[in-house]
Structure formats: structure tokens, C-alpha cells
Amino acid sequence: MGRPDIITNISSRPLSDFETEVLSLGLKFATGIPKPNQNIDLVTKNYRYKDSEFQQGYIQGLLTSALCDPPNPTLPKRYFRALEALAKDPAVRITTADKGGGVVVMDASSYLHKMTDLLSDENTYTKVTQAKVGRRDK
């Protein structure tokens, strides 16, 4: 088990034992399941570089086996179920604490209210038009 002392639950939702256990691992633990983009990267590698046909076939074989035989996850099923339950609950938001790497569980309405308060501080943030989004000023 991880560190349950890093979890702060300020939501109205009580956490199950398994939810507490999986959150006590922190928000940056590895589940053992590869990200889908890793498989896509293997495919696009064939087209980015001038690999020989042998190398392309080898990479395609690796990709096929990765898709057909996904690795067994290292995270127990009970933790996956706990994460799924938390992810499907629209009433809560899970985020990291500002300091210390803790995990904070809060009501979605409180989270939205807090974010609105923070973003409305005109001393810290400047409103931009849609045209300026993604553009850098020099």
C-alpha cells in the first residue's frame, strides 16, 4: 500500500478502502498498461525513417503482438475498479495538492467554484480573445 496520509478528502463522497489504497499510490504511478500512443509511435516510425523492409516487418510484428497480446497489468483489478468508479463519478474531482504531491478529492461544484475564483483574479490572469489563444507575443 502507498501512503494514505497524502490523501485529503474534502468531498461529500466517502472513499472506499480500495479507492483510498489506489489514491495513496499518488497520481503518477504506472498501471503497467501501455498508452495507446506507444503503439501508434511504432507504426509511424516505419514512415518517418527509411528502414529496410526487414526492419519494417520486424516493427510491424512487434506491433501486431502488442495489440493481440496486451501485457498483464501490474495494478490489481480491485484498484482498476476503484479508479473506474472514481472516474465515472461526475460529482468529484481528483487533483494534486499545490505542495507536497498530495492527492485532493473534492466536490466538482467546489472545484469549479475555486477555479472560477482563481481565474477571475485580474491581477494574476489576463483575459484574451479566442484569436490570441495559442499565439505567443514576443
Grid coordinates belonging to 74 = 501490474
Q: 96 has which bridge partners?
A: 103
**Does the residue 120 lie in any domain?**
no
pTM over 0.85: no
**Does the residue 80 lie in any domain?**
yes
**Does the residue 135 lie in any domain?**
no
Grid coordinates belonging to 14 = 466517502
**Does the residue 25 lie in any domain?**
yes
pLDDT higher than threshold 90 for residue 125: no
pLDDT at 10: 94
Domain count along the chain:
1
Contacts for 57 with CB less than 8 Å, ≥ 6 apart: none
Mean of pLDDT over the chain = 75
Contacts for 124 with CB less than 8 Å, ≥ 6 apart: 118
Tens digit of pLDDT for each residue in 71-120? Answer: 556 778 898 889 889 989 999 999 888 777 789 999 999 999 988 898 88
**Does the residue 132 lie in any domain?**
no
**Does the residue 30 lie in any domain?**
yes
* pLDDT level of residue 12 (50, 70, 90 thresholds): very high
**Does the residue 116 lie in any domain?**
no
**Does the residue 113 lie in any domain?**
no
- Determine what percent of the chain is predicted with pLDDT higher than 70: 61
User: Containing domain of residue 13, as a range?
Assistant: 4-108
Cα–Cα distance, 7 to 107 (Å, whole number): 14
The CA-CA-CA angle for residues 87, 134, 137, to 5°, reads 140
